[in-house]
Chains A and B, each alone.
Chain A
Amino acid sequence: MLSPYGLDIVESCLTCKMRAERLFCDLPTAALQSFESIKYATAYPKGAVLFVEGQAPRGIFVLCKGRVKLSICASDGKTLILKIAEPGEVLGLSAAVSGKAYELTAETIDPCQVNFVKRDDFLRFLKEHSEACFKVAEQLSEKYNVACHEVRALGLSHSAAEKLAKLLIEWSSKNGESMKQEPRLKLALTHEEIAQMIGTSRETVTRLFADLKKRQILQTKGSTLVIRNKAALRSLATTG
C-alpha cells in the first residue's frame, strides 16, 4: 500500500522483513501478535512533530521508516539536537514508562512510518511479555549511553572545532566509511542543525567548514563531504 508521502507502508509487524535486524522488533511470536493488536501504523510527512518536550506522555512511537530528529530546548528557545533516530528505535520510551513528561522533542526529517502504541496498552504489554521488557531495557540502556556520550562531548570538549571533528569521525564510522583512505559522508543536515548538534552557532559551523576546506582536510562535492586528511581530523578531535 502506498501512502501519500511515497512510503511503502508495512501494515503488519508479522510480515515485516526488517524485523530480525531491529532490536525492539525481533520479538517472539506471541509478543509480536500482542504488539500487532495494540499498535497503529501511521505515515508522517517530513517536518511532522511526533511529540514535544514537556508534553504528558501519550505513548511510544516505533520508528519503522525514515529518520527523526530528537532535540531539547532551553527556555530562551535555543535548541540542542541530541541525536538523529534511525529505523528500529522506540521514541518516547522513558517518558511512557515513568509517566513523566517527554524529555525531548521528536520531529521527522524524512517522510516516516511510525507505529504508535498508547501508554496504557504499552504498559500492559510489558507486564505480560517479559521478553519485550528486556528489549525495552536494552533500548533504554542504549539511550543512556548516548546521553552520557553527549554530556562528555558537550561538557568536556575544549572547542567547537574539536566537537565538529568528533561528530564527522563518528558519522564516518557509522556509515562504514572510516576504514577508507578518503571517507565520504552524505551531509543530511544543514549547518544550523549541525550547530545544534554540537552546541554552537550556525556561523561558527560555516566558518569551521571553510577553514577545514582551506586546510585541505575536507572537500565538498555537492552534498557529499570527503575527508581528505583523516589524521589531521583525528588530531583536531583530540586536541581541539
Chain B
Amino acid sequence: MKTNLRYKFIFIAAVILVCLYGIIGLPKSKDELIANWHNNIRLGLDLRGGTYLVIQVQQQDAFNAQASSTADSLKEAARKANVPIGEVNVDEAKDLPSARNVAIVVKGVPSTMAGNFRSLVNEQFNEWLLTPQSPTDYRLTMKPTSALALWKNTLELSKNTIDKKINALGLSEATVQQRREDADSELLVQMPGVDDPARVKQIIQTAGVLELYEVKGGPFASREEALAQNGGVLPIGTKLIGQPPSGQPGAKGGGVYLVARTPVVRGTDIRDSKAETGQMPGSWSTGFVLSQDAARRFADFTGSHIGTPLAIVLDGKVLQAPSIKNQISDQGVIEGQPSQEEAQDLALNLKAGSLPASVKYEQENTVGPSLGADSIRQGFIAGIAGVLAVIVVMLVYYKKSGINATLALVLNAIILVACLSYFDAVLTLPGIAGIILTIGMAVDSNVLIFERIREELRAGKAVIPAVDSGFAKAFLTIIDTHITTVVSCAILFLFGSGPVKGFAVTLVIGLVANVFTAIFVSKAIFDWELSRPKPVAELSI
C-alpha cells in the first residue's frame, strides 16, 4: 500500500471512530450502549411526544401600565413644582401593533407656565417626547429608544417568568425561547412528555399578584354601595378593591373593600411559598415568606395595627380579610385552598411572580406518546426499506463497485447521525425525511462517478486512468449540485421555522458527509483495490 493511501485510510478510520464515539460513547454493556444512544440522539417533540405552545406577549399591557404610572408621577411632580395642570389622561394602546403609540394627554397647562412644564418633562421624564397640541394641551409619546427598551424588557421578563413557572411544575426538560428573531413578541414553549397542557396554560395565564392591604371599610356588596356608604366620595388615600361576591357556591372570597391606597405587602416582596396542610383535616393552604426588607415593614405595621382587618388580595380579588391578631414578621398563610394541587399552583405562582403583560396562545400542538412511537417505527421501516432497495439495485447494476457505493452510503449515514449528536441537533420527523433524501443524493453522487468511469472505459482508457478521470470529471458536477442544494438549505434555515428548519439542518449535514464519502472515501477504496500487486486489467463496474 502506498504511504499516501495508508494515511487516507488512517484518516477514514479516525473519522469512523470519532463518529461511533459520538453515537454510542464507550459502552461497557448492552444496557449502557442503549442508554448512550438515547442520550445522544435527541428526539423532537413530534417523535417522543409532548406539547409546544406559541405565546404572544400582549406588549400593549406593559406600555399602558408604564404610561399610567408615568401619568401618576407626572401629576405628583407637577404639584411639587407648582405647575398647575388640568387633567392628565392616558390614550391607551388598543392592540399589540399599536403598543408603541401609547400616549399621555395633558390638558389645561396655563400658557404662562409652558416653559416650566416643558423643563419639568425634559428633566424628570426624559423617556417621553413632548408635542404641543394647543397653547394649553400637550401629548407625550414614548421615545423610540425607550419604547424599544421597554419592549425587549417585557419580552425578557415574560420569558423568565414563564420559565420559572414551568420549571416549578417539575418540567425540567421544558424550554422557553423567542420563537423567531423577527417575531419579537412571540415565545415558544416546548414541553417534552406533556400531553395535557391545560394545567400549564392555566398556570402561565394566572398572574399570581399577591397584595396585602389595610382595610378601611367593607365588605360592600358592590362599588356603588361602597360609594354611597362613604357619601359618594372616597376618603383621601384610599381605593376600592375586589369584586361583588359572585354568589356561586364554593366561590373563594369576594366582596368590595375600601382599602389604603398603597399595599403593605406587594407581590415582589415574596421570597418563598409552598403548599401546606390546613388546620382542618384534609384542607390545604398556601404559606409564604417575605423578603427581609418587607418583613421589617410588615412587622412594624402589624405591631401597630392589631385588631385591624387585613385584606389578602390575589389578582385583584379579595380572598380573605382576617383581623390582625398579633405581630407578624415574615410569614403568612392563605387558607382554604380546595385541593393540594390548587394550593401548590398558587404557591408556584406567588414565587414565580407576575407577568409584565398578559399572554395570548397563538398555537398549541400536542403529540401523544403513542403517535410518536408509531412515527419512529414507520420512519425506521421506510428508511430501512429505502436503503435496502437502493443497495440491491446498486449491487446488481454496478457489481463489485456497488459494494463501494454501499460502504460509502453506510458511512454517510453514520457521519450524519454522529453530527446530529455532536451538534445537539434534535431529530424530528422532517429530519428523518431529510435523512432519507440524503440517501437519494448520496446514491446520485455514486451513480454520477460510476457512469463517468464507464464512459472513460468505453472511450478505451485503461482502468486506473479511467477511474481517476471519472472521479475528476464527476467532481465538478457533484460540487455544483451540492452547493446549489446547500444554498437553498441555508435559505430554509435562515427564514424557515420549525419543521422546515429541522429538515434543512439534516440535509446540509448529509450533503457535506456525502461529498466526503462519495469523493474521498470511495476514491480511496478504488485506489486500494487498484494498487494491489496484481494489476487489475478489468474493473467490476
Q: Is chain B a partner of chain A in the same complex? A: no
Chain B residues proximal to chain A, CB less than 8 Å:
none
Interface of A toward B, CB cutoff 8 Å: none
